[in-house]
Amino acid sequence: MEMSSRMAVLLTVLLLAPAALGQGTGGLTELERLLQGKVPPHRVVRYAVQDGPSGKTHRTYLLHGQALLTGERIADARVVMDPSTGRPEVALRFDRKGAKLLEELTGKHVKERLAVVLDEEVLLAAIIQGPIRGGSARIAIGARKSYDLLLRETHDLAVALRVGRLPVAVRLKHELGSPVGTGMIFELDAEKAIERRPAESKTREGPESRKKSLRDALVEEGVRVLRVRLEESGLGSVMFEAELSDERDPRHSGRVFLMVPLGVDPLRVISVMTREALLEFRLVDDRSQTIAALAGRLPDGIEMECYRYGGPEGETITSSYLVARDRRRLVDYLHNVPEIESFLRKAEVDQEVASRILGLAGGGIDEEERRQILELATESLGRPR
């Protein structure tokens, strides 16, 4: 069955922006709504996300509000291979202060769990068996991914952690294909960073001058980090041009213009450019009854699971999780076609691009659903307008 350009755009909308067309049962939104107002003071909820054949699974972790160690103390990060699995991991080496913090943290909290959190997503939560000396640690990502993809993403993560956290938020604003590659415009936003660092703006200058000086400094550092990330990720062929703050628009912090040549994966470039790379080590609060108290009052699509382990002095600790199995019901989303028909009517997508989009549909759905998606999309797009 040949895929029309409008069908390709439809699948793009359904696969990449399902929230705009409605959520299925479960999912991150329902978890956040369920926990709203129930998290104790000095605690935060973070989520572990796992991809599976039925979609994404979100699992809650109740963590201490203060991160006891962060990526700011990383002196180096490199890709190594796990000798037991042969899978790539990121080997971290902390500076002197970071090594001391890690040893103190793990020595003081033996038989408690320590979560490694990257950009607010829990990568792992391990039981501390004893003090970690020497200032070294390893983290792994995405066990279910193919080896080549895992190796590439592990390498890019190592680069991001080694180069340092982005001091500003970076968002893709525009993307445009051309015969020579893909043009991209990224917007740099320093406002939230300025709010987090009020003390640094206290100078003898006026309030607006202080804010502008700090904004310009943050944006310049962000541009430097992005340049180094691309270079060390092997993406030096990407053309890079930066524009700092615009006097005519005080809300505009800065922009970066890229030209991604043919043969370079645009999705990888976007990931490298927009990842904050905020790494945190936080203790897990396994003794709180916040999650367990919700038993018997859970909506459809959200389940409760328990994890038991031996804690300090031989006690048994039972920790409760909320789990949302968020299956993407793409077939159901197709009933929302009228909302985007005006967009589809104008859309023109290259057949090669359309084929790549169709390939995305192969992840997370079975062959029968794939067939239904194509049939329903053909029927919907063929309706008289």
Closest of 151, 128, 129, 148 to residue 140, by C-alpha:
151
User: Residues 75, 217: one domain?
Assistant: no
**CATH assignment of the domain containing 52:** 3.30.1360.200
Asked if residue 270 has pLDDT above 70, the reply is: yes
Tell me the average pLDDT of the chain: 78
Burial of 173 per CB tally in 10 Å (0-12, 13-18, 19+): exposed
What is the band of 179 on the pLDDT scale with cuts at 50, 70, 90?
confident
pLDDT, tens digit (0-9, with 9 covering 90-100), for 301-322: 788 999 999 988 888 999 999 9
Q: How close are the terminal C-alpha atoms of the chain, in Å?
A: 23
Of the residues 289, 306, 326, the one at which a domain ends = 326
User: Residues 138, 33: one domain?
Assistant: yes
What is the band of 252 on the pLDDT scale with cuts at 50, 70, 90?
low
pLDDT, tens digit (0-9, with 9 covering 90-100), for 117-150: 999 999 999 999 999 999 999 998 876 678 888 8
Mean pLDDT of the region 246-265: 80
pLDDT, tens digit (0-9, with 9 covering 90-100), for 205-236: 556 677 788 888 999 999 999 999 999 999 99
User: Residues 190, 241: one domain?
Assistant: yes
Mean pLDDT of the region 326-337: 40
Of the residues 326, 343, 366, the one at which a domain ends = 326
Q: Which domain holds residue 251?
A: 166-270
> Other C-beta atoms within 10 Å of 119: how many?
15
What is the band of 332 on the pLDDT scale with cuts at 50, 70, 90?
very low
User: Residues 307, 342: one domain?
Assistant: no
Rounded Cα gap, residues 213 and 66, in angstroms: 29
Structure tokens at 373: 């998606």
Asked if residue 98 has pLDDT above 80, the reply is: yes
pLDDT of amino acid 8: 45
Sheet holding 302-310, edge to edge: 69-70, 279-283, 113-118, 121-127, 43-52, 55-64, 316-326, 302-310
Mean pLDDT of the region 366-371: 53
**What is the three-class DSSP state of 235?**
coil
Asked if residue 347 has pLDDT above 90, the reply is: no
Mean pLDDT of the region 76-80: 96
User: Residues 148, 288: one domain?
Assistant: yes
**Count of domains for the chain:** 3
User: Residues 47, 153: one domain?
Assistant: yes
Asked if residue 10 has pLDDT above 70, the reply is: no
pTM for the whole structure: 0.74
Structure tokens at 111: 């038989």
Asked if residue 337 has pLDDT above 50, the reply is: no
Higher pLDDT, 42 or 210: 42
Cα distances (Å, whole numbers) of residue 10 to 2, 15, 147, 366, 376: 15, 9, 30, 19, 11
Please write down the HEC assignment for all residues of 124-189.
EEEECCCCCCCCEEEECCCCCCCHHHHHHHHHHHHHHHHHCCCCCEEEEEEEEEECCEEEEEEEEE
Asked if residue 367 has pLDDT above 60, the reply is: no
pLDDT of amino acid 5: 46
> Other C-beta atoms within 10 Å of 135: how many?
20
User: Residues 38, 127: one domain?
Assistant: yes
Asked if residue 59 has pLDDT above 50, the reply is: yes
Higher pLDDT, 320 or 334: 320
Range from 126-130, 170-174, 179-183 carrying the lowest mean pLDDT: 179-183
Range from 199-208, 256-265, 278-287, 342-351 carrying the lowest mean pLDDT: 342-351
Asked if residue 159 has pLDDT above 80, the reply is: yes
Of the residues 224, 240, 270, the one at which a domain ends = 270
Asked if residue 370 has pLDDT above 70, the reply is: no
Burial of 77 per CB tally in 10 Å (0-12, 13-18, 19+): buried
User: Residues 148, 67: one domain?
Assistant: yes
pLDDT of amino acid 12: 45
pLDDT of amino acid 349: 39
pLDDT of amino acid 26: 46
Asked if residue 248 has pLDDT above 70, the reply is: no
User: Residues 290, 144: one domain?
Assistant: yes
User: Residues 32, 65: one domain?
Assistant: yes
User: Residues 124, 65: one domain?
Assistant: yes
User: Residues 48, 151: one domain?
Assistant: yes
Range from 59-68, 168-177, 239-248, 348-357 carrying the lowest mean pLDDT: 348-357
Asked if residue 353 has pLDDT above 50, the reply is: no
Percent of the chain clearing pLDDT 90 (strictly above): 50
